[in-house]
Structure 1
Amino acid sequence: MGIGIDILKVSRIRMLLEKSKFTESRFLEKCLHPKEIQQYRLLQGSQITQAQRAKWLGVRWSVKEATFKALQPSYYIYMPFMEYAHNKQGMPVINIHKPNVSITPVSVSVSHDGDYVVANALYLP
């Protein structure tokens, strides 16, 4: 069993997005699964604000940081191999998509208020 927690100030993500398109692209590749990058690109084309995109990214960053902590020391799974999703019951989970590694989805909980996101992860092998 493993437990992880993370807290994030969303304005850090917002400042990163404002820096440059190159910085934004590098950040996406570092922290998002390819499916999530596609979802993010759809958000960019919609009427969503940069602050809302930053919160969307902040949620994913925070739950993945918590998941990384929950999986240690048994596994070292990095963010691009993790996908934030919802199970059939609608509960948030992290699915692991790493070749030759079979891990059950990790249960996560996330809350946000103002400029902060906090996430918890619970890994039950």
Structure 2
Amino acid sequence: MILGVGVDLVHVPRIVALTRRKGYDRFAKRILSASEHSDWLKLDKNQTDICTRFLAVRWGIKEAAYKAFFPAVKPTWKELTYQGHVNGTQVKPAVFYHPVDSLDSRKVGSIRASISHDGDYVLAFVVVGVPN
């Protein structure tokens, strides 16, 4: 059974505008989990397209996840972690939920994610199952 479905469409120039106002690192610290932030620190900040896409993907997947979790759970940015690469190798997209309140983890089941990007757009799709 499904707890919720969430979809988000990110217009990448919007992320560019946000990062210009707040700065890449400040924006990254706001929305990235600890492990995502570790990956962020490894990126070459001179490659702005890669940095922007990195942030846009995480923004979109977390927005979609929030929509899928709500109203059972209201996760924060940092409680959600997106994984699309492991040791430089692309893997099936995944979202992991690490709630501050351990009781919240009992309110959600499996999480499935899909992400697609083309040009100025990132599309994120998340389905959350009910717990067993």
Q: Deviations over 1:33-82 (max 9, x none)?
A: 0111110110036xx61012101110111011000000011000011111
- Structure 1 residues 8 and 104, CA gap change in structure 2 (3 angstroms): same
Runs of 5+ consecutive residues of structure 1 not aligned to the other structure: none
Report the counterpart of residue 51 of structure 2 in structure 1.
53
* DSSP-derived class of the 1:75 partner: coil
Question: How many angstroms apart in 2 are the aligned matches of 1:25 and 1:52?
Answer: 14
Higher strand share: 2
Give the superposition deviation at 1:115: 0.5
Verify: 1:123 aligned to 2:125, yes or no.
no
Q: CA deviation at 1:26?
A: 2.8
Checking the alignment, whether the CA contact within 8 Å between 1:29 and 1:80 is kept in structure 2 is no
Q: Within 1, Cα distance between the matches of 2:24 and 2:110?
A: 28
- After superposition, the Cα gap between the structure-2 partners of 1:42 and 1:68, relative to the gap in structure 1 and judged at 3 Å, is same
Q: Percent identity?
A: 29
Give 1:60's aligned amino acid: R
TM score, norm. by length of structure 1: 0.84
Identify the residue that residue 96 of structure 1 maps to in structure 2: 97
**C-alpha RMSD of matched pairs (Å):** 2.2
Gaps of 5+ in 2: none
